[in-house]
Structure formats: C-alpha cells, structure tokens
Structure 1
Amino acid sequence: MNDVSASPATAEPLARNRPAALRRAAPALLAFTGVRLLGLLVLAGWAAASDRSAYKLLSARWDSLWYTRVAEGWYGYEVRLPGGGVHSDLAFFPLLPGLERLLSEISPLAPADAGVAVSWVSSLAAAWALFLIGEHLHGRRAGICLAVLWAVLPVGIVQSMAYSESLFTALAAWALWAVLSGRWVWAGTLAALAGLTRPVGAAVVAAVWVAALLRLWRERRRPDARMVLGLLLAPLGWFAYFVWVGVRTGSVTGYLDVQGQWGNGFDGGAAFLGFIWENLTGSVVGGLGLIAGVALVIWLYVLCVRRRQPPALLVYAGAVLVLALCAKGYFGSKPRLLLPAFPLLLPVAVALARLRPVRAGLVLGGVAVLSAVYGAWWLHGSGPP
C-alpha cells in the first residue's frame, strides 16, 4: 500500500486561500447540490401524490425522532416493549442532538428543523472533502466524480434527512483529508468529533492511528509533538461516550447492553447470513439481490486494495464495511450504514473520470434520476429506520 500523502507545503495553499479552493471545488459542489435537489423534488412530488408531507419524512420519522427527543430533553427517554425489553435513547451518540439543541436555542429553528439543516450543510461539507481526496489521489475530474457518486447512491436521500450519516461522513472525510495532508492535530480533533457522532467513529480513530504508525515505521523516525497530540485526541470522543454510558448505566459494558436491547451487536455476520438464507429459500430473487449487493461492495474494496489506496482510506473503509455487514439488527439499515464508506467509490470515480465529460455526465445524470425515484419510493415504504 502506498502512503499517498500531501506534504505540509501542499496543504498550506488550501489553508491560506480557502476562497480559491472553494472555487476550484465549485463544480463538484454544484453537481452534488443538483443531485440532492432532484431527489428532494421527486420526493416532494411523490409525497404530494400520496397526500403526505415530504418534510416530515425527512425530519420526523424513525431515528430522527429519537435525536429530536435527546435534543429537547437530553438523555433519559426509554420505550418499554411488550416483551419486557427496553429501547433507550442512550443508543444515539450526542453530537447531532447537541447541535440540534444549540441551533434551536440560537435561532428560530425547532430541533427537528435544526437536524435537517445540520444534515444539509454537513452533506455539502462532506462533498467538498470527497472532492479534495479524489483530486489529490487521481485528479480534479476524479474528485468531482467522487462527490457526485456519493450523492447518487441509492440511499443518498438519507443525506438530506435529520440523520447523523451526513455529519459523520463530513467529519470522517475531513479527518482523512487531514491525514493525507499531514495535519495530525486536525485529524485527531475531527476523529474525536466523529467518535461523538456514531459508533462507527472507531473506524476513523483506527484510520488515523494506523496511518500515523505506518508513516513512522516507514520513515524510521519518532513522532513530533503535533502527531502525538493528534493521536491522543482521536479516540477521546468515542471513548468518552462509552465511559459516560457505562457510568450512567452502572456497567462497564453499558453501551453494548443498550445496543443489545435494541437487537444490535456484533456477531461476525451470522445473523445477516441467516437473513440472506431466509430470502434465498423464500424469495429467490431477493436473496440473489442481497448476495449481489454484498459481492459488489466486497469487490469494490478488493479493487481499492489492489489499486493501493492510502492506508488511512483502506482501514477506514474496511472497518465501516466490517461493522456494517457483520452486525446484527434491522437488515434494511445495511445500505444506510454503508453510506459513509465513500472510499469504495474511488475506483468507479476514476473510471468515470476517464470518459469524455458528456458521457460521464449522462451516466451520472441517469443514475441520479434512478436514485431520486428509489429514494422517494424507499421513504414512502420501509425507509431507513
């Protein structure tokens, strides 16, 4: 694996001239915004035809309701199930509801509205970081394609919902960009914030640590003070929340116990394999579709390894992939859980960048239409719980 990283000198122009950097990223951000607006327009039309509220589908369903409750009253809300189980809001990490609460206190926005606003802004921030990573590794056109590919994913509509995926992906992508550009304090700070956003924040922490240790090993040198500080900062958010939940519940495994009550947990993929088998024996088409989907993401990861992506990206994408596919729980959430695994899209972005711009635009435009229709149908059906 090549440790493709920008030198500090390469990173300085971005820090000194952010307006110019933003102008350079403008095509990617405009294309990303266009795809997201298309998804929202199709959703609005579908909702109007179904006599439903498109905005409520984005702001007040499934997990977004739990984030809003945390924002309004902080932690302590539980739902007791008929079978004796308990669903606790401690399962939801605090950064998104914290931002919802902050925005609602300093603006006219209600917490649910603030959640949508955070997701929309975060999705743009994520697209910018994806552009920078793609441009750094494979050129400007690849950076644009990477940002747009992330927008046209079948479950891309989640990027516009009051969910934590957009916020987490933005923090993770900028942390990885900081690693590639050699800014370790920023990498550690952003990794710590990602660790306060979702359990999979551990993937960002692992990426920062592995990238730093590999660089030290290859360069046969000791870490400088900024790298040490970044490495110390990286796990603080994730670790702090686990410890806080443990203290609150009176158990070292408090957070894992909370997740267990929700039916979640890491079982090495046994439950998911059972789910695929049930579909194969019940609805063969559904089972084959699941196998094809899993094979596709694994194949993309193998391509990333073969094309020698930087270690930080490989560790991050691999950890997100393993945690998504090898966890039990509601299996309809798997595509959403894979949404932050954007390095898997790099091989596709490179292939599209080699096409003529018109042809690449037609491909991405066609996929964007399909994604918009699928997203509207999805939210009106099973949706992303």
Structure 2
Amino acid sequence: MVKAIGMTVFLTLLSHTGDYLKKEPGRGGGANPWDVLGTWDGVWYQRIAENGYDPQLIPLHGFPLATYYENSAAFFPLYPWLMRLVGAVTGLGPYGSGIAVSVIASLVAAAGIFAIAERLGGFRAGVIAAVIWGLFPGSGVEWAVYSDSLFVALSAWACYCVMTHRWLTAGVLALVAGLNRPTAAALIAAVSIAALVALVRRTDGVARPLTAMLITPWGLFGYVAWVGWRMGDWGGYFKLQRGAWNRYFDGGASTLRTIMDVITGHWTFWQSNPVPDLIAIALLMALPGLLVLLWRTRPPLVLWVYTALTVVTALSSNQIFGNISRYLLPAFPLFIGLAVALRRVRTSSLVGLFAMPVIAAGWYAGYALFELGIP
C-alpha cells in the first residue's frame, strides 16, 4: 500500500509536467510515464536480459572524464538473469520482467527487514521498519528496472540467517548477492567476520561457520574475474567503472568537496542536480542520529559491520552526489534503529507521522531521483 501510493504520486507528477516526453528515451524519457522506470541503468539491464554480455574496453578520446566507451559488463548478472527467467516463464518483455522481479524482491526485502527488526524490537518495530524501507529517500528504485530491491532482499535475509545461526544459508545468500552488485563486498565481509568470530568462540561448531566464510566471496570474485578474462585485462572491470562511469574509490574526497559546494551554493561540480543534492545533504545530516539509534538497539556484529561498510562505501567513492540516497538504501539497519525508537509511539500518532512521507515519497524518492537527477 505504501509503495502503491508513492508510485501513484510519482506517475501523477510525471503526467503533470510531461517533461519525460522531452527527454531522450533511456535517459529519463519515454512515450509513457511508466517508461521512466526502465530508464538509465534499467536500459542496460534490459539489453543484458535480451542480448547477454560482450565485455570490451574500447578507448574513447576527446572527453576529459571518460576514457572508455560504456559497456554492459559494468552491470552484474543476477538481476538480468532473473529478468530473462521471468520473461521465459510469463511471456513478459524485458521491461515487464524487470518490474516484476523488482516488485517481488522489494516485498521479500521488506519481509527480511521486518524479521530482523522484530527480533531486535518486537512486532511493532518490524512493521515500522518495513514501512520506512518503502519511504526512505532513494526508494523510488525499488519498483523500477533496478537491482537494488534484489540486493537488499539477499542482504537482509543473509543477515537474518547469521543472527539465527543458519550459516550455510547465510553463506549461499552472500555468494549469490556477489553476483548482483559490487557493493555486496560489505555483506560478504559482514558474514565472513561474523562467521570468523563464531569459529573462534566455537559457538556453532567449526564446519558450518567455516564453510560460510569460505564460500561467500566467490560470486563477486567470479564475475569480476570473468569480465577481466573476457577483456584480456584482469583489472578490466575496475578500468571500465572508472573510465566509462567515472566511479572509483577516492577516500571520500569528492563527497567532502561536493558537500562544501552544495552548502555554499556552488553548482558547478560533476553531475550537479540541486534537488537530489539537497536531499542527499539532508540525509547526511540525519545519518549520525540514525547510527546512534541503531547503536542503542545493541545490534549483532553482522549488522554493525554491514552497515558501517555500506555507509563507508557510499561516502568514499567518486559518484553522482545526488545518488547518495540510493547508495544508502541498502543500509537497512539504519531503518531498524529508528523503528525501535518509534515502537512506543501511539498508532494514531504514527499514522499522522507517516501520512505525509507516504504521499511525498513519490516526489522526493521518485520524481526527484529519476527526473530531477540521475538515479
């Protein structure tokens, strides 16, 4: 219901402005409002689902920020594989299959977030955390042709399995997540560190934690190695990310520099988009408080490591600043701390508290991301 209301507002805003009709198809434009949900990264996923991969590093000249042509190998394979499977079973095209996978995955993710929050703070906390998942800035990609919902579904349930000592399942989920996004490195590290601690303490024997720790990285390593092999350059994936998308680790230098530019009103930085950039600033201002609330719930080690590495990864890379809301979306334990803090609030007050975000999410998490920025 929460997502449906937000999506209705998003599509209404698209229809009201009609700006999507003036934009290039695949870059925020299309023939219909709902086509916007399959643009930007969604175009690449649809191409992969239809045509597969052809990893190449093709030099590009004359552009200061780009040294290679864009290539589909930058996008991990799990999501388009599932799109192709759903298409084969249902007859849906790449767009419809992508939306179907994302919607189902978003519900699985919500269930995983609920399960974790319920263990830490009770039933009400679980419900509130699941609602926040649907309202968080950046949540507009949850029902789009994007892999984010699938990644959070895998991450949430992997963490839950660690919390309930289901080590083999946690390891398999982390391995599979490594085929979905490079940021799965945070999940892989979290599961591995938790398994190592259990191994040292002998709380769950030896075989299961050890097996989980050993299998987690091979999805991520395998795909990056395959891309490198196909390109004839073992560092090919990372060269493509930097040379075609200008994405690379810089220790947070670009994030800090952009924060200074935004708060001083200088919009001359790479891919500046005022509305998404200001939303990112607001989220960064709230981040310390969300971390404190999470700490007060006394979360298990796996959640701490996963959250910390997800936040560090999001803030330590050169990227489109306005996308910070999307890059922090996988840090779902942040929702849980807030949910536990709100669990004692009366239901009528909670309804009033969430009423406006439920409606406004169609703008700040949808329209602002897809039409006023680049998701």
For the aligned pair, the TM-score class normalised by the smaller chain equals 0.7 to 0.9
Alignment match, 2:183? 200
1:364 maps to which residue?
A: 354
In structure 2, relative to structure 1, the CA distance for the partners of 1:345 and 1:268 (3 Å cut) is same
Q: Secondary structure at 1:87's aligned position in 2?
A: coil
**Distance of aligned partners of 1:93 and 1:291 in 2 relative to their CA distance in 1, 3 Å threshold:** same
One of 11, 25, 30 as aligned partner of 1:44: 11
Trace 1:267-278 onto structure 2 (pairs within 5 A): 267-278=250-261
Question: Which of 232, 241, 244 in structure 1 is aligned with 2:223?
Answer: 241
State the 1:193 CA deviation.
1.1
Instruction: State whether residues 168 and 211 of structure 2, in contact with CA within 8 Å, keep that contact through their aligned partners in structure 1.
Output: yes
Pairing 1:125–2:89 present? no
Preserved CA contact (<8 Å) 2:280 2:324: no
Distance 1:266 1:330 in 2: 13
User: Structure 1 residues 380, 241: closer, same or farther in 2, change over 3 A?
Assistant: closer
Q: Distance in 1 between matches of 2:203 and 2:298?
A: 23
Instruction: Please give the alpha-carbon distance, in whole angstroms, between the structure 2 residues aligned to 1:251 and 1:70.
Output: 21
Query: 1:310 aligned to 300, 305, 316, which one?
Result: 300
Q: 2:326 matched to 1:336?
A: yes
Alignment of 1:157-236 (within 5 A): 157-217=140-200, 219-220=201-202, 223-236=205-218
Tell me: CA distance 1:221–1:108, structure 2 relative to 1, closer, same or farther (3 Å).
closer
2-structure distance, mates of 1:383, 1:282: 17
Once the two structures are TM-superposed, the CA of residue 308 in structure 1 deviates from its matched residue by: 2.4
Distance 2:359 2:370 in 1: 17
> Distance in 1 between the 2:204 and 2:336 partners?
32
How far, CA to CA, are the matches of 1:298 and 1:247 in structure 2?
42
Equivalent of 2:247, from 250, 258, 264? Answer: 264
| AA partner of residue 242 (structure 1) | V
- 1:276 counterpart letter in structure 2: I
Matched with 1:70 is 48
Q: Distance in 1 between matches of 2:258 and 2:174?
A: 33
Distance 2:93 2:84 in 1: 8
Amino acid aligned to 1:230: A
Aligned amino acid, residue 364 of structure 2:
Y
The answer on whether the counterparts of 1:336 and 1:384 sit within 8 Å (CA) in structure 2 is no
Residue from 262, 287, 290 that aligns with 1:297: 287
Give the deviation of 1:245 after TM superposition.
1.3
Q: CA deviation at 1:379?
A: 4.8
Are the counterparts in 1 of residues 162 and 170 from structure 2 also a CA contact under 8 Å?
Answer: yes
* Correspondence for 1:101 among 68, 73, 84: 84
Quote the RMSD (CA, aligned, Å). 2.3
CA shift at 1:375, angstroms?
A: 3.4
> Conserved in 1, the CA contact under 8 Å of 2:297 and 2:340?
no
Aligned residues of 2:192 and 2:212 also touching (Cα < 8 A): no
Residues matched between the structures, number: 350
Cα displacement (A) at 1:214: 1.9
**Structure 2 length-normalised TM:** 0.87
C-alpha displacement of 1:357: 1.4
Counterpart code for 2:335: L
Unaligned stretches of 5+ in structure 2?
Answer: 21-31, 268-273
Deviation string for 1:125-167 (max 9, x for gaps)?
0000111101111100000010001111132221111101100
Secondary structure (helix, strand or coil) at the match of 2:264 reads helix
* Percent identity of paired positions between Structure 1 and Structure 2: 39
Change (3 A) 1:241 1:154: same
Contact persistence 1:265–1:327 (CA under 8 A): yes
CA contact (8 A) 2:184 2:220 kept: yes
